[in-house]
Each structure stands twice: as structure tokens, then as C-alpha cells.
Structure 1
Amino acid sequence: MWLDSLDFNSIALFLVLFILIADYVKNRNPPNYPPGPRALPLLGNFLDFDPKFPHLSFSKLAEIYGNVFSFRFGSAQLVFVCGYKMVKEALVNQADIFVDRPFSPIADRFYSSTGGGLFMSSGEKWKKQRRFALSTLRSFGLGKSTMEQCIREEIEYLQEEIQSHKGEQFRPAGLFNNAVSNITCQLVMGKRFNYSDHRFQTMLRYMAEAFHLEGTMWAQLYVSFTWLMKRLPGPHNRMFEDVVKIHEFISEEVENHKKDLDPSNPRDYIDSFIIEMKNQKASRFFTNLAYCAMDLFLAGTETTATTLQWSLIYLIKHPEVQEKVQEEIDRVIEQNRLPTMADRANLPYTDAVVHEIQRIGNIVPLNGMRMASKDTTLGGYFIPKGTGIMPMLHSAYGLITMVVDFPGKRVCLGEGLAKMELFLFIVGLLQKFLFYVLDGEELRTDGVTGATRVPHPFKVCAKVR
């Protein structure tokens, strides 16, 4: 009996020592690697950050370890890059080195091992698809007056929908998602969707939930312990189910396009991609149409619609600012026409408020991960080839009314469109309505952090001016 107990204790001790040694060997850092908090075996640094406000936790770690520091999620090692100088160094000065995406278990399952869509692909495939997407979207109005007119028409639809509530409370989140998504849908699918379209509204809800879950602790657990989390129940499974539903929606649109395609007269991005797939020289790079279209659909909606939500919150919490913006709009545009981008130069206060909302809204506090394509240094520290880095964009925002832009290799395809949408939508809404909440209600500004930082669900009232 005593011998059996000794054998068991010996085996248990051996296993513990083996795990500790294996963890150390696998995760030991090379000389001059960025410092960071001491990691626990297997768990890494899971206890060193707040999953509700990860960007704030990482900012505090930057104060301790500097603007380039390491952090472990389970066995996944990351290097965080903070502050304007270091973020610019990584994304701009060393753009060629930090242009690719590292392997992600979540993205691998999202995109069914196809190499990713526009957002997660790398290498030659990403270069060709990005170049194609940019030229194609431009040919259908991106950055042109035709797209500006498209936004102005959508403003009218949005105004009518808000006015239909007749001053009663309503939730703006769904309306903003629909309005902003319609702009992208016209580029990608060649059409817009009514605010009463149940099928489309359902897709938007799937999208919002997937974005939220992707930035939660459940997603981090999946990345760190993929082999286990694949087999366990939990909210992380809904994230993948949501993406499947969104992909099905896009795939149906693709099939509809194929039925009445005119190769000599493409109508939108989907048509153009289908035609490109038949180009023998390019076809091997164009095999993931539904995923690329899905990326455009997702990226073209979430951040801009969320910024519009934050705009209402801050303008309602600061009624004096809302009033001053409306005074400027009334003076320059009056009430008899919709705004244009040409008005921006004559609306300096309004333009400054839009930028300030972007800054304090802090929609994307972190950034998409990058990977070092070769050995390099950041802030004097050694970054080995294959290391994943996480640029912390919010750490680069100055305490001024502007948002820092980094024109790196992966700068957002629709950045110019998003700026146009924000300005025109905000001006068009404030031109028409006074926004407020009922007495006794308070709007929260702490937000819910997922892949993007969104407001807590809220209702507002809108009075026609």
C-alpha cells in the first residue's frame, strides 16, 4: 500500500515537473526580448488583465514595462506596441516587416482554412485581392461624388425612419447599422435593404454579436486552449455560428449574382470578383469571394455605425455642444438642403466635434494583429521572425480633437468613405433633429469592449427641429 502511494506520488511529481520544464522550454524568450509580467505555466498571463477593459489593462502594463512589452495568452505569445512613436515605427516605418497576419485559431475556423478573406489573408494573395478590391470599389464610386450622393439619399431614409417614431423612445443601434451597411451593400451587392427587411436585420444582429464575442475572454480562451475549447459549450460557439449565418447570407447573394451576370457590364464588387475568378492567370488568388465580400460587409458597417451611436451619447450628455453644432449648421446650410462634403470647410466646429467623438469613442482601442516576417527590433528589443504583435491604437491618440492616422500597408480600404459617412450622417441628423433622453435617464460612457468598443444598449428621443 505504501509502495503504491509512493509510486502515485512519484508519477504525479514527475508529471508536474515535466509540464513545468516543457512549458519553460517551449515559451522561454530569446535574449533582449521585450519584458512583461511573469507568466504562469499553461495559463500564461490570464490573471494580469481585465477582460472587460483589456485596453486599459494593457495601458497600465505599458506604464510598468514600457511601450514594447510581452504578454502570454496561454501559450500564445504576443508583443504589445504602445505610444505614437512605437506604433508608427511598427505600422509605417517597418510596414513591410509587419504587414502579414499571424495564424489565428479563430480566423482559421471563421474562414474554413481558405486562407482568410481580405482581413486575415497574407502574402501575395492578400496583395492581389487588396489591389483588386481598391480598384473595383473605386470604379463603383468609392471616393467619388456618386458615393456622396448615395450617402445623402440614405440620410433621407434614416431621417424618415427616425421621424416615424414621433418623438417616442427608440434604439438607434439597429437603424445606424442598417443605414451604414446599406452604403457598403451598394458597392458590394449593388443594392440597399429596407429598414423593415427582417432577413437583413437578422444578419446585422448576427454581425454585432460576433464582433462582440470576438473580443471577449471566451475568444481569448479559444485562442489559448483551442483543443479544449472546441469540445466545450459556451458563448464562443455562438461566435462561429453567427459567422456561418453571415456567410450563408453573402453566399446566397453571390449565387443570385451568378444567375444574371453580364461579364461586359459588372454591377458591383461581387460581379467583378466572379469575372476575375474566370481569369486563368489570377484565378488561384481569387477563390474566396464570399469571405472577401463578408469582410467588406462587416468592416464597412461596425465601426462607423458604432461611432454614430457614440456621437448621440456624447451630444446628448453635452447639450451645449449639440446646440452649438446646430447653430453652425443652420447658419451655413439652413434647413432646405442636405449637407455635402463641400460644406465641411465652412463647418469647422462641427468637423472638430466629429473628430473628438472619434477620439473619445475609442472604437478600436487595439488593432488587428500583425506578424514579423523576419527578425527585427522595436524600441531596442529583439523581435524574432514569426512573433505576433498587437498595436494599441488608442495609446497613440493625442489629447486633442483628432484621430491619429497611420498610412501603413493595411490602412482601411474604406477609410475615406467612413470619414465621409460620419460627417454627412452626423450633420444630416443634427440638421433635422434635437436628440435627448427622458428625465431621470443617464447614458453610460464606459462601453462594452469586444472586437470593437460599443455603447451599452440605450434609447433616445428625437424632436423634429
Structure 2
Amino acid sequence: MALFTILGICLSCLIFFFLWNQHRSKGKLPPGPTPLPIVGNILQVDVKNINKSLRTLSKEYGPVFTVYLGMKPTVVLYGYDVLKEALIDRGDEFSGKTQSSILSQVNQGLGIIFSDGEVWKQTRRFSLMVLRSMGMGKKIIEDRIQEEVSYLLEALRKTNGSPCDPSYLLACVPCNVISAVIFQHRYDYNDEIFREFMEQSFRTLEVLASPWVQEKDNKKSEFTMENLVITISDLFGAGTETTSSTMKYGLLLLLKHPEVTAKIQEEIVRVIGRHRRPCMQDRNHMPYTEAVLHEIQRYIDFVPIPLPRKTTQDVKFRGYHIPKGTSVMTCLTSVLHDDKEFPHPEKFDPGHFLDEKGNFKKSDYFLAFSAGKRACIGEGLARMEMFLILTSILQNFTLKPLVDPEDIDTTPVQNGLLSLPPSYELCFIPV
């Protein structure tokens, strides 16, 4: 029995090295560490700190290298120059999406996040068209956000300055905004259906009757009811979690840095005043607040490594030949924490986005929403929500921590490929 086991292991090793050499010779993939049979380079990659492992490998093999997470190769792109070249300049070639993750299998390759090929192209085009027709990027969306923020402020006042975890209330705003856009309906924060809806990660969705439901029999169309449900689920999930977690993390950073909070509030009083509600036109006159919002997103690095893409065709890239269908990992941390663009990237410093005169300074390295064909389609909405939420809260409340600011820990909680804020409570003291 032992002999058969040994022979099986040896045979597996031989098959693996044969496939690996075949990949190397046929594809001329970028260099990388030699993989082990079956597991590949998984033992050389710290799953609890993937960024650190990739940074170490990039120093040895350069900005484009190959790792084996199992028996299949993954090409890693590390640094602004290669990410710009791949995602922006040659976006079509790197716009595929791998289907190996559990989530993509659950969604059956449908929706907008995990879909690929013609399904993704049609669904993305359709989603953008519908969102724009419903007011995305227009004043009507700003009005909806302002209305929802007013409910948030009311809920915060009801805490009476007592310690509270802001997670749920912050998530209610973007969730209700999307609900108002898609279903023309908002929910009370205490509504049991709404609470269950959010707690269950939006598993139960209502889809309004529409002409697209005839589409199931159209073999050339991807607008089936199933795809529409998953697409709407994607919009709720991505649109709610990213914005609310960013805001939750942002408030924690402001508790840690009260001097930054004070400067934002000074700008609010000077530009907006105490009584008029904030609007998007104010953003052009509030460079410090805009810098803080950008720095929050840069610092927290919410999605350090997005779900892998794949090449849509054979690609010649920087002297290498990457075969069609090869998994490609893009490391956004390598750009957001680039010490040449952002001095002391490990520190929270709004000055990273301010020039010597205190004006807001844009940076091409700000890729918090990714870039290219697979960039977040809700970026404009998220920016509006975060600006109006933050300025409205700081216009009406003083943030009071439960511990000394020096004792506040802002270290992210690693959850898979996301950097989530640690749990905390604070007091919202009415101004």
C-alpha cells in the first residue's frame, strides 16, 4: 500500500513539473519563485498578509512576476507603471474575470462583478444606461442622498450622545439610496424587512416587472431575470459595503486625529455655515475636506488586491508572452502606498493630496476604485455619498472617542482580500 502511495506522489510530481515546464516554454511567462508540486507557491505567500509577500517577491523578480497558487499560474502586476499599462492603456486585453472563486461560482458567472466576456459587456453597458437614466450623476441623485443623510442625522440625534457602533446606520444611507434609485422606495431604519434585508446580505430582492423578462428565450441576450437579480444584488452589495466601511474607517481615523477633524469643521463653518445643508458644489471650495476623503481611501486601502482578472487573448507584455485565459493579479496597494508619490505612506496625512498653497492636488496614483474597464461603475455615486455624509455629520456633531486618541488602534482587520475597520464605539455629541 505504501508503495502505491509513493508511486502516486511521484507521478503527481512528474505531471506537475511537466505542466509547469509546458507553461514556461509555451507561454514564456514572467519570472517567479519555483513552485512546489500541487500547492505551487502557496507556502511562500502569507495569506494573512499577501501584500507583504508580493512586495518581497516584486523586489526580487521585478514589477511583473508569476506565482502559482495551486497548479495554475497567476501573473502579478506590481506598481503604477505596469498597472496603468495593463488596465488603462491595454484594458481590453486584461478585462477578463476569473471564475475560480467561491463567490463567482455562487453567482454562476452572472451579474456585473463576477461575470465575464459577453455577459459582462452587455450587463455593464445595460447597468450604466439604466443608472444614468435614473439620475446617476445628476442633481436628482444628490437630492436623494441629502434626503437620506437627513434621516441619518435624525437617527444619530436619537442616540443622545451615548456610545454607539456606527456600522448599521452608516450602511443604511447607501443602501437606501440604491433602493430609491432602483425601486423608487426607501426603508425606515427600524423596518424589520430592511434589517433582515441587510443582515442577510440582500439575498431576497424584488425585481420590478419589465420588458427585459421576455429576454429569457433570446439566446443572444444576457438580460434574463436571473442575471438581473444578481446584477441588482451586486449593486446593493458593492455599493453599500464599500461606502459604509470606508465611512466607518474614516470616522475612526478622525477620532484618532482630532486636529484633522477640527480643520474640516473650520472649513465647513467657513464655506457652508451652521444651518444650510451641504451640497456637492461646496466640494470645489473645500480642498482640505476633499484631501481628507482621498487620504482616508488611500490609507485604508479597502481592496488591496481585487479579485483576479484574466487575459482575453494572447498578450505580449514587457517582453513576456501571457497566454489567453491566464489569471492576472493587480496589487492596488503598490500604487496607493507608493512612497515616491506619497511620502510616509504608512501614516495618515491629508497633506498627501494638498499642494504648498493648501489647494487640493490630484494624483494619478489614486486608484481606490481600481482603473480601466473593470473600474467601479459606482465611483461617482460613492464620492457624492462620502462627501455629503462626512460634512453633514461634522456640521452637526462633535465626535467623542471612548478612549484617549493615542490609544485608538486603526490597524485593519484582514478579512480575505478586504481591509476592514476594527469594531469600535463613539459618541455623537450635538453641536
Match of 2:228 among 271, 289, 292: 289
Between the aligned partners of 2:319 and 2:157, the Cα distance in structure 1 is 57
Letter of the 1:69 partner, please give it.
Answer: F
* Percent identical residues: 36
- 1:117-147 CA distance string (max 9 Å, x none): 1112122222222111111111111000000
In the alignment, structure 1 residue 327 sits paired with structure 2 residue 259: no
Provide the aligned length of Structure 1 versus Structure 2: 398
Tell me the residue number matched to 2:29: 33
- Out of 96, 106, 118, the residue aligned to residue 124 of structure 1 is 118
Counterpart CA distance in 2 for 1:446 and 1:49 is 21
TM-score under structure 2 length normalisation:
0.87
Q: Does 1:16 align with 2:9?
A: yes
User: Match for residue 276 of structure 1?
Assistant: 212
Aligned equivalent of 1:461: 427
User: Which of 447, 456, 460 matches 2:412?
Assistant: 447
- Specify the code of the residue in structure 2 equivalent to 1:446: T
Task: Answer yes or no: is 1:96 the counterpart of 2:119.
Answer: no
| Partner Cα separation in structure 2 for residue 192 and residue 59 of structure 1 | 44
Alignment of 1:229-240 (within 5 A): none
Decide whether aligned partners of structure 1 residues 205 and 40 sit closer, same or farther in structure 2, where only a CA change above 3 A counts.
Answer: farther
- 1:43 pairs with 2:8: no
Where does residue 234 of structure 1 map in the other structure? none
Where in structure 2 are the equivalents of 1:56-455 lying within 5 Å? 56-111=52-107, 113=108, 115-207=109-201, 246-247=202-203, 249-250=204-205, 253-254=206-207, 257-258=208-209, 274-278=210-214, 284-287=221-224, 288-397=227-336, 398-399=341-342, 400-401=352-353, 402=363, 403-404=366-367, 407-440=371-404, 442-450=407-415, 451-455=417-421
Report the TM-score, using the length of structure 1 for normalisation.
Answer: 0.81
1:407 Cα deviation from its structure 2 partner: 4.7
What displacement does 1:365 show? 0.9
Unmatched runs of 5 consecutive residues or more in structure 1 = 1-7, 208-245, 259-273
Q: Which runs of 5+ in 2 are unaligned?
A: 343-351, 354-362
SS in 1 for 2:68: strand
Partner SS for 2:394: helix
**Whole-Å separation in 2 of the counterparts to 1:27 and 1:165:** 60
Return the alpha-carbon distance in structure 2 between the equivalents of residues 195 and 406 of structure 1.
Answer: 31
Compute the displacement of 1:406 (Å). 5.7
CA distance in 1, matches of 2:219, 2:12: 48
- Paired residue secondary structure (1:57): helix
- 1:55 aligned to 51, 56, 61, which one? 51
Residues 289-327 of structure 1, C-alpha deviation per residue, up to 9 Å, x if partnerless? 111111111111111111101110111111011001101
Which one-letter code corresponds to 1:445 in the other structure?
Answer: T
AA matched with 1:86 = V
Give the letter aligned to residue 88 of structure 1: K
Amino acid at match of 2:12: I
- TM-aligned CA distance change 1:121 to 1:71, over 3 Å: same
Aligned-residue CA RMSD in angstroms? 2.0
Q: Which has the higher contact order (CA 8 A, sep 6+)?
A: 1
Q: Secondary structure at the match of 1:306?
A: helix
